[in-house]
A and B are shown apart, each in its own frame.
Chain A
Amino acid sequence: MENNTIVLRKKVVGVLREWGLILAIIVITIIATIIRPAFLSGTNMLNILRAYSTIGIASFGMAYAVIAGGMDLSIGSTISLTAVITMLIVNNMTVATVAPATAALLVLLVGIGIGAAIGAINGSIMAAVNGKLAESFIITYAMQIVIGAVAQAIVRGNFQAAQYRSGLFKEFGIGIVPVLFMIIVAIIMQFLLVKTKFGRSLYFLGANMGAAKMAGLKVKQVRFIAHMICGMCAGLAGVIVVARVGSASVLQGQNYELDALVCVSIGGTSLDGGSGSIMRTLLGVMVVGFMMTALNILGVQSNAQLIVRGAIIVLAVALDVLNKSMKFREVAQ
């Protein structure tokens, strides 16, 4: 008797772990479609994915930091800073002086470069102090404040519209292009994670820094690169945000770090570090995107939406805990 219920519970958790995210997306879609058939339309699907593409890209970077046993709270400010700088660059170029392709490449490089630089600072401090989760929290939070102030100083607090939006740069924000960006970044990062020494080292670092060190891994270097990649993702997200919304302000990246953490944990990446995947993070982004859009379409009040959002996070964490408590015994027997 007792054994049967345990087996059943294990099975349920196992199925939820494997298929829970996809199941959630399907259920949300069905419910929303029944009430508003337009939800299922191609346009709507594309709109959702486009709207969440930048959160997605930022989440992938966050997932790296989390898998390695840390987190990055500075990505919000990083997005704001790259957004305002991208806007300044774009506004200072004219079709007459710069070819669209060159302009596009330039903003991409500058954006990702800024992100990389901020991530590198985070990463070097983390490496220097042999930091884990708690240190990363403080260090990147401090960075969030500093970078926020820099962005503020550049635009002097003003909201500014991008005047020049033509050529390739504009394409970054329209149609399916942002979605493609998200998917390509996801594929590359997932591949790096499972197929390279660096990816495997990320896992070991997050699971047990002492064991990683004793296995002869380059602990500091891996930590540094993880944070740098996280910054690069935020930089890229910053560029695409400007292309999509056509303006930039110092508030552009507000709450991105939290949204990313939500997507990462819903995607099944434990905040303890040492486990997780980019593809699941992508599914996590989709769950959040579909859910929030469905709530919008259904006319749910924004306060109620926040409650739902909170509930999703609690659910994700609960599943993670349940998952962990059963994981070992399951294989043991």
Chain B
Amino acid sequence: MEDYILEMHHITKRFPGVVALNDVSFKVKRGEIHALVGENGAGKSTLMKILNGVYQTDEGDIVLNGQQTIIRNTTEAKAKGIGLVFQEFNLVNSLSVAENLYINRLTKRHGRIDWKTIYREAQEFTDSLGFNFHATDKIEHLSAAQKQLVEIAKVLLVKSDLIVMDEPTSSLTTTETEILFKIIRNLKREGVSIVYISHKLEEVFALSDTTTILRDGEVVDSAPTNTLTRDQIVEKMVGRSVDMEFPRKKCGIGEVVLKVNNITRNGLIEDISFELHKGEILGFAGLIGSGRTEVAEAIFGAEAYDRGTIEINGKKIAIHSTHQAKEESLGLLPEDRKETGLVLAYNLIWNISITNLDKTKKKRFISEKKEAQFAQELSKELNIKTPSLKQYAVNLSGGNQQKVVFAKWLFSDVDILILDEPTRGIDVGAKYEIYQLMNRLAEQGKAIIMISSELPEVIGMSDRLVVLSGGEKMGELSREEATPEAVMSLAVSN
């Protein structure tokens, strides 16, 4: 008889028009790390939301520690020993790490908050986890990765028997990921069970004992991780065989469309020069903070540059604004799609048409009908999965949101497209679609700059690589020269 901490039996959850989960059974053994994988929209989040009381299941039961339970809300989930690490940050930026950690449990002494003890305990706690920042640091001064660690620490502070981590590493660098892995393994040793949701299969293999694969709201497979291969998992996730992970097809590379000479933003980037050709995908590799985004912002006119020149189609152009960049047929898919890529509170039609409203006009005024038609065409072309174009962007999965950002630049039909981390936080299936889309665009003669922190991806998709480090260009590698070792040695050379 296996000792299960959690058994979810025959869970079915329907939303109007869709069955989000269909007869899903999911069991987690005590003290195991259980990976839950699947494409966005496969039902992972819905399942975890049911476990945490955000949604109520329509059918099926939840058995916790051998006892049937009903979890009505997140407070109850917490009380029953279920901890949850979300991707979104719920931290108060203007407060310190310690204040954020202890905000619900401020120790009092003589009726006053005992800050001394709180800071000491917080420091000891974060040190014990191996974090390299101070409990007195303000959250706003931390990097995204460090914030994620604080978020994790907040959950660990409460004793839980079962911790759900929803893509905890999506904003972490290698160093922090290592720290997190160590923490997770320690938890396992202490008998805590972990449900680990991730798109990164390397992590699944590195960490998990068991893997459950969801597709379209059903369990496709659940097996010990060491009996599965990477390709098997991917195939089961997407429901088709994946012959090639990075489907870059070389196509006819044409003349230079963008020439950047010695672009400099004081203190951020220095003397960056490169050329971009028609039909080419130019990769920008480098560590976080190496200045890749800063270069993109300067070219797109989002931030002013101090020195240097930009030539588009052989014509020198001083770009002062994003509007001007767009007029010069430049588009930028920003790093943070939720903050600046989309307006989450607006529907897909509005989000897509905004880059080229002139095209939607009929007799000088916007025609909602035309606008919806264009959006419809693009959403079909890009295979955006949504019940309706009137859907608010906030309700779409990461991959579909990113496709909407693509759609908006396709709508404006720009020739030069800068993609800043185009596949961050999206699932394997959607990633593959985005790679294919990039291929298609390059074939059509668009010029693409791809900034990516995922080394295999940027190497696999680029025709040529520019490697930045510390705000300077360290070198340029052809597709043949670009091995992971070659890229990394340049990326850390400054």
Interface residues of A (CB under 8 A from B): 2, 191, 194-197, 200, 203-204, 207-208, 210-218, 274-275, 327-328, 331-333
Please measure, in the bound complex, the distance between the C-alpha atom of A90 and the C-alpha atom of B390, giving whole angstroms.
52
Contact of A218 among B323, B332, B388 (CB under 8 A): B323
Instruction: Tell me the smallest distance from the CB of A292 to a CB of chain B, in Å.
Output: 33
**B293-344 at interface with A (beta carbon < 8 Å):** 300, 302, 321-323, 325-327, 331-332, 334, 339-344
A-B Cβ contacts below 8 A, count: 83
Contact at A328–B394, with CB atoms within 8 Å? yes
> B interface, how many residues as a size bin?
35 or more
What are 10 sample pairs from A and B whose C-beta atoms fall under 8 A apart? A2-B56, A203-B350, A204-B343, A212-B343, A216-B331, A216-B412, A217-B354, A218-B323, A328-B345, A333-B16
Known: A210-B340, A274-B345. A196 touches B365 (CB 8 A): yes
Whether B94 sits at the interface, judged by CB under 8 Å, is: no
Whether B408 sits at the interface, judged by CB under 8 Å, is: yes
Q: What residues on B are CB-neighbors of A332 within 8 Å?
A: 15, 391-392, 395
Contact at B302–A333, with CB atoms within 8 Å? no
Contact at B322–A216, with CB atoms within 8 Å? yes
Please measure, in the bound complex, the distance between the C-alpha atom of A200 and the C-alpha atom of B353, giving whole angstroms.
10
Contact of A211 among B321, B339, B358, B392 (CB under 8 A): B339
Whether B95 sits at the interface, judged by CB under 8 Å, is: no
Q: What residues on B are CB-neighbors of A212 within 8 Å?
A: 343
Contact of A328 among B355, B388, B392 (CB under 8 A): B392
CB-defined interface of B233-263 with A at 8 Å, one 1/0 digit per residue? 0000000000000000000000000000000
Please measure, in the bound complex, the distance between the C-alpha atom of A210 and the C-alpha atom of B297, giving whole angstroms.
12
Contact at B365–A211, with CB atoms within 8 Å? no
Known: A196-B365, A218-B323. A204 touches B354 (CB 8 A): yes
Contact at B354–A214, with CB atoms within 8 Å? no
Contact at B355–A215, with CB atoms within 8 Å? yes
Closest to A2 in B: B56
Instruction: Tell me the smallest distance from the CB of A213 to a CB of chain B, in Å.
Output: 5
Q: What residues on A are CB-neighbors of B16 within 8 Å?
A: 333
Contact at B346–A213, with CB atoms within 8 Å? no
Please measure, in the bound complex, the distance between the C-alpha atom of A282 and the C-alpha atom of B322, giving whole angstroms.
35
Known: A196-B366, A197-B357. A211 touches B395 (CB 8 A): no
Q: What residues on B are CB-neighbors of A211 within 8 Å?
A: 339-343
- Complex A-B, nearest 8 residue pairs according to Cβ-Cβ distance, in ascending order: A216-B326, A195-B365, A210-B340, A332-B395, A197-B357, A214-B340, A216-B322, A333-B15
Known: A200-B350, A218-B323, A333-B16. A208 touches B357 (CB 8 A): no
**B365-392 at interface with A (beta carbon < 8 Å):** 365-366, 388, 390-392
**B60-107 at interface with A (beta carbon < 8 Å):** none
**B386-442 at interface with A (beta carbon < 8 Å):** 388, 390-392, 394-395, 408, 412
With A208-B345, A214-B341, A218-B321 given, can you name 5 additional A-B contacts, CB distance below 8 Å?
Answer: A217-B354, A218-B323, A274-B345, A327-B345, A328-B395
Instruction: Tell me the smallest distance from the CB of B372 to a CB of chain A, in Å.
Output: 14
Please measure, in the bound complex, the distance between the C-alpha atom of A200 and the C-alpha atom of B56, giving whole angstroms.
39
Instruction: Tell me the smallest distance from the CB of A220 to a CB of chain B, in Å.
Output: 8
Contact at A195–B366, with CB atoms within 8 Å? yes
Q: What residues on A are CB-neighbors of B345 within 8 Å?
A: 207-208, 274-275, 327-328
